[in-house]
Amino acid sequence: MNLDHIKRVYLLGIGGIGMSGLARYFKHLGCDVQGYDRTETELTRTLVQEGIPVIYQDDITLVPAAYQQPSDETLLIFTPAIPQELQLKAYFAAQGFKLYKRSEVLGIISASRFTIAVAGTHGKTTTSTMIAHVLKDSGFDCSAFLGGISSNYNSNVLYGANNVVVVEADEYDRSFLTLHPNIAVVTSADPDHLDIYGDAQHLVASFELFLQRVVPDGSAIVKKGLPFGGDVTYAKEDPCDAYARSIRVEEGVFYFDYAAGDTVIADIPLGIPGFHNVENAVAAITVALQLGIAADKIKSALASFKGAKRRFEYVVKTSAQVYIDDYAHHPEELRAFLTSVKKLYPTKQLTVVFQPHLYSRTRDFIDGFAEVLGLADQLLLMDIYPAREQPIEGVDSAWLFDKIDVAQKQLVTPADVLDKVKQTRPELLVTVGAGDIDRLVKPLKEILDA
């Protein structure tokens, strides 16, 4: 496929964070871009405002005729997250279109560029967004395809003047195996996506294949303790090739020192909170140093980093009330997030609103979820968000609810959450999950601001 010939792009699942990034990229190149998604969201409404039409019905008659005949000028992209039975996809396939996965297109875009690819079952969105910000803020520059909306740039795709691209490398469906990184970062490899991989060993094998795709003379930066190695190991506090030390919280700000051999960068203020984000910053600093960026510019960039939307995002922050929203949907992500919240606010009662994501993930990690949700003082547990899955018999929020050791806990609907918060006005509130729980953020903010 020659991207220079493309004039029209249609995306099936355009509302996904990665797909919307591609939509914006091709719109930026001057292509006519349209797409389909199952439901209207804040992100799809934003795309429409940017001149990218979106339909929400699985109906080919709603697709312009120019997109319905195969052509070298028309590119069809789909995400594996769409239902297998989607009629639009079946129609395009029957017409003879070659349909490209998002990851294949990303591989083509990055093939001719110096690529920094960040992979991991968690941590990759914040780390890739952090690396991109350091490169932008320091003047080094880059383009970037991110798995979240950067709060510094209010976008999930960045455009640079040089030949460097930062890519969030997704392990789902082995998508990251289309990339050829010059620098690869692996933040984690905890068991996940077992509906795809079957077991943890196959997931690990996929990460090993990803690292094998690093180009000759490239660099693999791997978190210490993972079941595979790299050229450089990094960690939070645990001494290795690159690590953080003297981590401390001063007036709500995380500070740390970066140490790598003879290189020390002292008293780095991190623009976003969290022990896990200190560790992510160690990876970002290591990448920046390999690119020759000066330590003072790295330090300044990290101080101004605002994170990504729905990653430890402060929604309300006053002396009386704090409300934070986060995307965590795996037990280890939840543990990192909730532990950091409790460290920042040790005297406040923590109210957690959690929406499990996927029946299979809930089933596979039921005991891990139950244990870490026990960190809450009050728990409001929503129904499982199914995403691409059909229900699994016996797997529901009630099963998880019964396993959680929290005195104040309640199974809730979205309406129940709003009512409960309106009645109790919790002093420390978090909403957590990867489904549609983000629809509660705006009304919850309005309640707490009232």
**Architecture field, domain 3-101:** 3-Layer(aba) Sandwich (3.40)
- Intrachain domains 3-101 and 313-449 with the same fold: no
Mean pLDDT across the stretch 250-254?
88
Q: Which two tokens stand for residue 321?
A: 């009330």
Quote the pTM value. 0.83
Asked if CATH classification 3.40.1410.10 holds for the domain at 313-449, the reply, yes or no, is: no
Per-residue pLDDT reduced to its tens digit, 88-128: 999 999 999 999 998 889 899 888 899 999 999 888 999 99
Q: How confident is the model at residue 398 (pLDDT cuts 50, 70, 90)?
A: very high
Measure the N-to-C terminal CA separation of the chain; round to a whole number of Å. 54
- Whole-number Cα distances in Å, 51 to 32, 34, 323: 9, 9, 33
- Whole-number Cα distances in Å, 292 to 185, 186, 270: 17, 21, 21
Report d(CA 431, CA 327) in Å as an integer.
Answer: 8
Per-residue pLDDT reduced to its tens digit, 269-310: 999 998 999 999 999 999 999 999 999 999 999 999 999 888
Report d(CA 424, CA 440) in Å as an integer.
Answer: 16
Asked if CATH classification 3.40.1190.10 holds for the domain at 113-303, the reply, yes or no, is: yes
Report d(CA 294, CA 63) in Å as an integer.
Answer: 50
Report d(CA 331, CA 17) in Å as an integer.
Answer: 22
Q: Which two tokens stand for residue 334?
A: 């939840």
Report d(CA 428, CA 345) in Å as an integer.
Answer: 8
Mean pLDDT across the stretch 125-143?
97
Which residue ranges make up each domain of the chain?
A: 3-101, 113-303, 313-449
Per-residue pLDDT reduced to its tens digit, 357-390: 999 999 999 999 999 999 999 999 999 999 878 8
Q: Which amino acid belongs to residue 169?
A: A
